[in-house]
Structure 1
């Protein structure tokens, strides 16, 4: 199965969830047109408080739809956009991508994966117990953050549900994703 976009979402306000759209426009160096998190410098409230001049490594948030199925099996009800992501995917292991992986979305857009989303207390405010459900442990006991990856936009483009995703890995050795 090829990797595809299953939903796209955007919100002009700093709300936890984002509304599904028929399409979104990605803008190089900025993020999702009309989204509260678009910009060259950080827009996440806690990061702006610490240092508003930091580069925005969180221009686009992606979550794999397979996570929603896992959460449903654990008794949660989560749909595309509700956890704040801009792009919901299927058929790609986002969490296994290395830092610097480039994703070609649809016909024109290109984004570069910068790191993992670090789940915050807002997830539990959305649904009690969800924070614990999006965290796991590997065989060595290391923390696994399942709530998606963050990226920056390298090339403009329109993206919509049904668009394909093509992955270009950076030259090795690969660096695993860390929180951004």
Structure 2
């Protein structure tokens, strides 16, 4: 299990973003050399955990609980077959392109050590948006990505440090519940009755998902 690439994005003006300022950082590219990783601060204020990585719409993106986005190279390869075109590392706007890890099958609260310093913890799944669809340039992309159910994972920073391409990834903690990234994604999108199950992930769960799950339980029961 390792990092195939570490990807960062620069602020870029595009016609397809729903950001009122007309800019996005979704176009992420692999970078050479070590990249500093540290908790960026609360949502709305903090951006990406990766130094030099732009987050342009901070009311919806970035912040401590979705500070890093990881995607499996294996999932990108599967999409290449479906789309009939190549997808470079970083093509989905991910910060980390991994090899040998079932990212969407990872559990909320699972912790990864990357290299010798950095420890990250999985918090939630990535939800596709209009900017992602415009970036991909594929018809009905949001619906297709949702139906696929392999969204990749958001992570928070537990221990800061530096990472670089080729670093080994080690799972240092795996919770004993069954709340995976893929299950959380379905609960957030196509199968809302799954939301009460997310509470088994405890405090590791992204606070917004926890709030939605509690509201669902209050309204509908467990």
Structure 1 length-normalised TM: 0.78
Alignment root-mean-square deviation, CA: 2.3
More helix by proportion, 1 or 2? 2
- The question of 1:110 aligning with 2:119 is answered yes
The question of whether the paired residues in 1 share the 8 Å contact of 2:108 and 2:124 is answered with yes
- Correspondence for 1:128: 138
The question of whether the paired residues in 2 share the 8 Å contact of 1:71 and 1:133 is answered with no
- Offset, 1:72: 1.2
More strand by proportion, 1 or 2? 1
Report how many aligned residue pairs link the two structures: 161
Classify the secondary structure of the residue corresponding to 1:73.
Answer: helix
Deviations 1:108-167 (A, max 9, x none): 110011111011122321221343443336xxxxxx2x2311001111121111111001
Identify which of 23, 35, 38 aligns with 1:24. Answer: 35
- Correspondence for 1:51: none
The question of whether the paired residues in 2 share the 8 Å contact of 1:9 and 1:24 is answered with no
Question: Bigger relative contact order, structure 1 or 2, given CA contacts below 8 A and separation 6+?
Answer: 1
Unaligned regions of 5+ residues in structure 1, if any? 38-42, 49-53, 138-143
Classify the secondary structure of the residue corresponding to 2:94.
Answer: coil
Structure 2 length-normalised TM: 0.64
- The question of 1:98 aligning with 2:107 is answered yes
Identify which of 49, 60, 66 aligns with 1:47. Answer: 60
Deviations 1:74-124 (A, max 9, x none): 113321112111110010001111111001001111001111101112232
